Structure 1
Amino acid sequence: MLRAPEDRRAPEWSLVQGLIGSRMPSEASSAVADRVLAENGSWDAVAALPLEDLVTALKGVRFPNQSAKRVHGVLGAIRERVGTVDLSLLESMDTSEAVAWIEALPGAGRKIAAQVVNTTTLDQPALVLDTHHLRILARLGLIAAGEDTAKAYDALMPQLPPEWDAATIDEHHMLMKDLGREICTPKNPKCPECPALSLCPTGQSRT
């Protein structure tokens, strides 16, 4: 389950992949990000595309118009702040500073910011909270149902074991995502099969 070092992508790639991946399997949005980068040669070239061409380039995502606007806005904002689509400046920042820098970009929320910091070559400890993870945490009683991602992140990060590095947090996220997809589903969760049943008041009430 651990992400191999060679599977850690550039933060710019992860940023775009996150922006276009709404309600899509990560494998599908990753394939689109790979294709768009290969067809254009660089993220600066993608940023320079007219919006209508970017919509066409993002064929295959669920919301191409919305995704194109988000990518166009975020890449453009990076170019304005840095001069080019390059996030290497984040390497010199601590985790909270890097997360805040990304989150300040238009359309890049806490989940995407944490993803860029944690899962890429930046290799910093930041907890990625997707809808599966948030649902499980709410059923466990660790956060309120419908909790804002940023508030949940701020509440949970200090509770993680201090020895957890970026790779451990990344593995935890992937395990939680699998649990949410296969067992702790939005409707009709398979509570008797859940490995966390002894910790889950919601599951115990259902069984």
Structure 2
Amino acid sequence: MKAHLQTATFPAMAAERLKACLQDIIAQRGKASLDHLATMETADAMAWLETLPGIARKISAGIMNTSQFDRKALVLDTGHRRVVQRMGLVPPKADTTRAYDELMPILPPEWSAADLDEHHLLGKRLAQTICRPKRPDCPSCPVRADCETGRTL
């Protein structure tokens, strides 16, 4: 975890949130463990995680998807959300929770947790390189034909 805190945008804030989460987990569960989530449905486990300080949909999905739980939960960061909004897959003003709720039912049911993680990483990369917040490079976009915004330019 130390390496992640060192590369965080606001490491002191991240460290305080982590400490608050651990204290809350220990207060509720008697130990610093999320093992109880293994028997819960993914949506219920994410809802429980989102009661912890500083945990919202992106983080709860990340915990369920890229950890020992290996669950089908799509991580959506700001850039990835921007891509799917411009594509017309979710409403333009949708927050992360609403975007998640709109996308999960339309993703291929055969996709694994690893496939969802790859979708996230590819969407994030597309947002960083081509589908930037200002002046997106739509002519170079590999998904332009499927994108509402790209087709109008």
Normalized against structure 2, the TM-score is what?
A: 0.91
Other-structure match for 1:187: 134
Decide which of 91, 104, 109 is 2:51's aligned counterpart: 104
1:84 shift after superposition: 1.5
CA distance in 1 between partners of 2:10 and 2:119 (Å): 28
Return the letter of the residue paired with 1:185: R
Question: Map of 1:148-167 to 2, 5 A cutoff?
Answer: 148-167=95-114
Deviation string, structure 1 residues 95-142 (Cα, Å, up to 9, x no partner): 111111111112100110000000111100001110111100110111
1:147 shift after superposition: 1.2
Other-structure match for 2:15: 68
Return the letter of the residue paired with 2:4: V
Q: Which has the higher contact order (CA 8 A, sep 6+)?
A: 1
Decide which of 80, 85, 93 is 1:138's aligned counterpart: 85
Question: Map of 1:22-61 to 2, 5 A cutoff?
Answer: 31-33=3-5, 61=8
CA distance in 1 between partners of 2:106 and 2:71 (Å): 16
Of all paired residues, the percent bearing the same amino acid is 46
Which segment is superposed worse, 59-68 or 177-186? 59-68
Other-structure match for 2:94: 147
Normalized against structure 1, the TM-score is what?
A: 0.69
Return the letter of the residue paired with 1:76: Q
CA distance in 1 between partners of 2:9 and 2:112 (Å): 33
Q: 5+ residue gaps in structure 1?
A: 1-12, 14-29, 34-58
Higher Cα Rg, which structure: 1
1:200 shift after superposition: 0.9
CA distance in 1 between partners of 2:14 and 2:39 (Å): 29
Q: How many residues align?
A: 153
Other-structure match for 2:74: 127
CA distance in 2 between partners of 1:60 and 1:157 (Å): 29
1:60 shift after superposition: 5.6
Other-structure match for 1:114: 61
Q: 5+ residue gaps in structure 2?
A: none
1:179 shift after superposition: 0.8
- Name the CA shift for 1:60/1:137 in 2 (closer, same or farther; >3 Å): closer
* Cα RMSD for the two superposed structures: 1.7
Residue 144 of structure 2 is aligned to residue 172 of structure 1: no
1:146 shift after superposition: 3.2
1:32 shift after superposition: 3.5
